[in-house]
Structure 1
Amino acid sequence: MSEPTGTADTLGPPVPVLSVSPVVLSAPDRAVDLRVRVSAPVTGSELPILLLSHGQGHSNHLSSLNGYAPLVDFWAAHGFVVIQPTHLSSTSLNLDSDAPDAPMHWRSRAEDMTRVLDRLDEVEAAVPQLLGRLDRDRVAVAGHSMGGHTASLLLGARLTDPHDGTEVDLAEPRIRAGVLLATTGGGGDALTGFVAENYPFLLTSDFSGMRTPALVVAGDKDASAHLTVRGPEWHADPYFLSPGPKSLLTLFGAEHGLGGISGYDVAETTDESPERVSAVQRLTWAYLRTELYPGDPAWREAREALASDPHPLGRVESR
């Protein structure tokens, strides 16, 4: 999409979206083949690519290629080709795995995204309506919760593999920007005892090398007491503990579901708010639009609109 489709306040009408799933990428080195959903506008060319990593949650299928429709539908209707893998940690797969990175499959998750980028020719061949329409130089990643952890690794965050003690660097240079939604924060004594014992890869999260531009989205009521003892501020760590350029969107009153981004009317959403979901849709779109198309005013205009609202849904800070 070589020309802007509109600013954050003048997006224009959404275009129809085509969605194809599953697109199956054979993976003999993986427990099961990699299955992805591809969603794209039916019109337009030179379309930017947005990889979306799902979280975990309580539902059986939101943590798969079938989740996050409120975001996917919006992003695709406004110009992105959204590719969603089903990671090995997905509840829908119900894998009994002894892999070193199980049960969250933190390493495999990031490798799924690199695999997709390596095999875009196969993705295009499986979705003929996309042939010749992708802009492979404009790639972004987004992730919610555990998916945010996955996205952060691709953006340059590191950790120490608890299995062998090596430093893990899974940064993907083809990714130019990211969005971390209710993501994981720092390790050490910030974690609950249960998390430290059962998910030790989170103990050594290091954001000091996460240099790729990113927008961190956090709810100021997202205590996530099952994960951290620090409360909502923990989810903002990737903003404060990484080098710039970064932006932080703090959503007022938002809990871990950020209003309901993981699916339409899902029971696990504790802070259901269509208005909040709309804000997440528009602000994330605007951020990525400007990062991938420098000079596009979408992000500046979105920030100004948020700041001038007499009853704002959140605030943005950048550095």
Structure 2
Amino acid sequence: MSESKTAPATVVSARPVVLSAPGRGEDLQVRVSAPVSDSDLPVIVFSHGFGWSMDGYAPLADFWAAQGFVVVQPTHLDSRTLGLPPEDPRTPQIWRIRIEDLTRVLDGLDVLEASVPGLAGRLDRSRIAVAGHSWGAQTASTLLGARVLGSDGKPGQDMSDPRVKAGVLLALTGLGDTLTPFAAEHFPFMKPSFDTMTTPALIVAGDNDQSPLSTRGPDWFTDPYTYSPGDKSLLTLFGGEHSLGGVPGYSVAETTDENPARVALIQQLSSAFLRSALYPEDTSWKAAATALAEDPEALGTLQSK
């Protein structure tokens, strides 16, 4: 992958690619998107939000692939495409199975590489990032070092993965001390600790994202930045709601704040962040941050630590 992309690359996408998943109840289906040229390609493993699938989030997946990344999108068990009933015995553990899905993708890169025409031998396994939106952001954050607090208030299992070098966390929910009674009862895993989330990450929050799961306001979504160690950046989007302008897809019902310019900003900054995080000599992130700070009509603000 070159240090910076001046024009989008032609992209090839394959779906479904199937990874064997004993004990999961069914095999893991993923979508793989990649540029048709170049070698030593970095990898982004993307975790979708509740109910979505490998076919969602085209504004992100297509853009990243055109910028030179191999984008892998697993379909988690909560996907509406699978129709898992709430009474399924796996339901209480889907949050954990989601994390295992991402690890399974990393373990199965050889299979994925061989399943996409022309991709064999072109992945750079030393440059891997994870990304996710909403529940997917929580899923991805655990590979960066975030942990779920147990009923005793102590951090649970460490599920971080040293193969992951950077992350992009979109609309990641905050600390669990202000969950609504409904959320506390039905989503007990939404009690994170970010104290050990040490891997570099870009956190994206909307300043109009009012979650029904918390008694706090939109600042809840800035907790992952506030309470994690250094090497983090926070992009706060003006007017952004939970879909952040439309990252799940184009003209979808869930997007209440559709704004192509807002999505374009996420595309550009996330790509620049990942390039610079995975290639220390790359200056894309510094240039993008400077441009945002100097733009009088900027759609958001950026903080870094």
1:137 corresponds in structure 2 to 126
1:49 and 1:139 in contact (8 A); partners too: yes
Give TM-score scaled by structure 2 length: 0.96
Q: How far, CA to CA, are the matches of 2:57 and 2:76 in structure 1? A: 14
Find the partner of 1:272 among 220, 234, 258.
258
Shift of the alpha carbon at 1:32? 1.1
Q: Deviations over 1:25-80 (max 9, x none)?
A: 111211110000000011111000000000016xxxxx100000000110000000
SS of 1:176's equivalent? strand
Query: Are 2:92 and 1:101 equivalent residues in the alignment?
Result: yes
| Equivalent pairs, count | 302
Aligned residue in 2 for 1:313: 299
Conservation of the 8 A alpha-carbon contact between 2:4 and 2:282? no
2-structure distance, mates of 1:73, 1:88: 23
User: Could you tell me how far 1:101 is from its partner in structure 2?
Assistant: 3.3
Q: Output the amino acid matched with 1:44.
A: D
5 Å matches for 1:48-59? 48-56=42-50
Match status 1:209 vs 2:203: no
User: What is the Cα deviation at residue 100 of structure 1?
Assistant: 6.5
- Tell me the amino acid that sits aligned with residue 91 of structure 1: R
Q: Deviations over 1:70-97 (max 9, x none)?
A: 0011000000000000011112111132
Aligned to 1:245: 231
Aligned-residue identity in percent: 58
- The offset of 1:301, in angstroms, is 0.5
Q: Could you list the per-position Cα deviations for residues 209-251 of structure 1 after superposition, in whole angstroms to 9, with x for gaps in the alignment?
A: 1000011000000011x11111100111110011111100000
**Counterpart code for 2:157:** V
Q: Deviations over 1:260-284 (max 9, x none)?
A: 0001111210100010000000000
How far apart, in 2, do the equivalents of 1:29 and 1:277 lie? Answer: 37
Alignment of 1:1-319 (within 5 A): 1=1, 3-6=2-5, 12-56=6-50, 63-96=52-85, 97-99=88-90, 101-102=92-93, 105-161=94-150, 167-188=156-177, 190-202=178-190, 204-224=191-211, 226-319=212-305
* Contact kept? 1:161, 1:168, Cα under 8 Å: no
Distance 1:194 1:298 in 2: 43
3-state SS, counterpart of residue 301 of structure 1: helix
Deviation per residue, 1:85-116 (Å, 9 max, x gap): 001111211113212734xx111111111111
CA distance in 1, matches of 2:35, 2:215: 42
Q: Quote the offset at 1:161 in angstroms.
A: 4.8
The CA RMSD measured in Å over matched residues stands at 1.5
Instruction: Classify 1:21/1:223 alpha carbon distance in 2 versus 1 (closer, same or farther; 3 Å).
Output: same
Q: Distance in 2 between matches of 1:38 and 1:20?
A: 5
Partner amino acid, structure 2, of 1:199: F
Gaps of 5+ in 2: none
Aligned counterparts of 1:122 and 1:276: Cα–Cα separation in 2: 35
In 1: Cα distance, 2:130 partner to 2:202 partner = 11
Determine the C-alpha separation between the residues in 2 that align with 1:106 and 1:36: 18
Residue 99 of structure 1 aligns with an amino acid whose one-letter code is R
Cα drift, residue 295 of structure 1: 1.9
| Structure 2 Cα separation of the partners of residues 36 and 53 of structure 1 | 11
Amino acid at match of 2:89: D
State the shift of 1:128 in Å: 3.3
Shift of 1:162: 5.7
Equivalent pair of 2:14/2:31 in contact (CA under 8 Å): yes
Q: Distance in 1 between matches of 2:134 and 2:155?
A: 24
For residue 126 of structure 1, report the CA deviation from its aligned partner.
Answer: 1.3
8 Å Cα contact 2:13/2:116 also seen in 1: no
Structure 1 unaligned blocks of 5 or more: 7-11, 58-62
Distance 2:7 2:233 in 1: 27
String of CA shifts for 1:186-209, please: whole Å, max 9, x gaps.
012x1111000111111x311101
